[in-house]
A and B are shown apart, each in its own frame.
Chain A
């Protein structure tokens, strides 16, 4: 009988579930992408405003990381088009799961990105869901924020994250523009 104790971090990294998740799980999930049943690409976007605070100056994208293999985006139809005083606003929360366990929580929460660099304030971090181009080309972009702590589902060897709809979407060419800017 094994001794009752926690795994060390080295042992946890070498555990069967973690190794299978990285080496086998990702390859199996890539098949889903290859078969075309993962139409929604998911990106983590880090950016910076050129002024002293968010909203001052202009927004510049620093880096973006696509979650690969393409995760499963479920219930995008739970984003309701909510009528407001000045027009319709998309509101709601979606779940993105089957995210590879090769990502860490710090990356998924935007605390650091590939390369481990740190962005000084006023930084910006958000998720972006974009269709893979099978429909409109270029497709519209939808901005989301992390609305819950990422959940590592060890049994399914994936991460599950909850995202909430946010504004303002980048234009289809990836630039943040405001109507009426001179």
Chain B
């Protein structure tokens, strides 16, 4: 028992396992996987090209080329930004689901992904703990209607791939290369008083799904096989007479 952690000694059983000789935890996470997954999506969205309708030429009334634009990564927010950040148009923000994320059980207990043995450190392996599922809201902030329409249309397209089913998948290099999947489930364009003040919003409800894992120490079990040689004789089998005089003899 560590003297500086007396409450650890009160834990019933050994839920986190131990290896011998003892080793410290291989790593202590500095961010939660939800934020890491959304940062990946944030980066992806900042690389998307959008376009809104162009004007009309005065000379012949023909439509000009669409106006291309991107949303700078500084204007895409994983969580509500601090007070020093101004809302500029266009912006994107992710809002957590009202009931948070579900932690879905995988099997009766956690299991070890043996393919990850020693991949993230010698003597370690990834333990898959549960599946995380959340239906968060992806908000789009624009001032004018054409920009809102352009952004929603493009986002719905680029989150619905052609050659994969059920959403777009990303690797998360910051989270043990685990995979996260995003699927668009719903869209809306809520209009209120703010809309007339050129503060329009569009919303996509997006399902995010990934496995929650932990990097744990692991010791390899050594299998020892014992071979027994038996010599078989041609003679009659030897019967040991174990009868004792005076005791019950079942052979009688």
Contact = CB atoms under 8 A, between A and B. Distances in A.
Interface of A: 49-58, 81, 83-89, 145, 164-168, 178-182
Given A50-B56, A87-B87, A164-B197, A58 B67 contact: yes
A55 B144 contact: yes
Given A51-B53, A167-B143, A180 B67 contact: no
B75 A52 contact: no
Nearest to A145: B197
Given A50-B56, A57-B53, A179-B72, A86 B87 contact: yes
12 contacts: A50-B54, A51-B63, A53-B145, A56-B52, A57-B55, A87-B86, A87-B91, A88-B83, A88-B84, A88-B87, A166-B199, A167-B143
Interface of B: 52-56, 63-64, 67-72, 75, 77, 80-81, 83-93, 95, 139, 141, 143-147, 196-199
B69 A181 contact: yes
A166 B53 contact: no
Given A55-B143, A167-B197, A181-B67, A86 B55 contact: no
Of all A-B residue pairs in the complex, the 8 with the closest CB atoms, nearest first, are: A57-B55, A55-B144, A50-B55, A87-B87, A86-B91, A55-B146, A85-B93, A86-B93
A180 B54 CA distance: 16
A81 B83 contact: yes
A51 B69 contact: no
Contact of A83 (B75, B83, B92, B95): B83
Contacts of A58: 55, 67
B53 A168 contact: no
Q: Which of A49, A89, A179 neighbours the largest number of chain B CB atoms within 10 Å of its CB?
A: A179
Contacts of A51: 53-56, 63, 146
Given A55-B146, A86-B87, A164-B197, 20 more contacts: A50-B54, A51-B53, A51-B63, A55-B145, A56-B146, A58-B55, A86-B139, A88-B84, A89-B87, A167-B143, A167-B197, A168-B89, A168-B143, A178-B69, A178-B147, A180-B70, A180-B71, A180-B72, A180-B90, A182-B69
A173 B213 CA distance: 52
A178 B90 contact: yes
B75 A56 contact: no
Contacts of B83: 81, 83, 88
A57 B77 CA distance: 27
A83 to B, nearest CB: 6
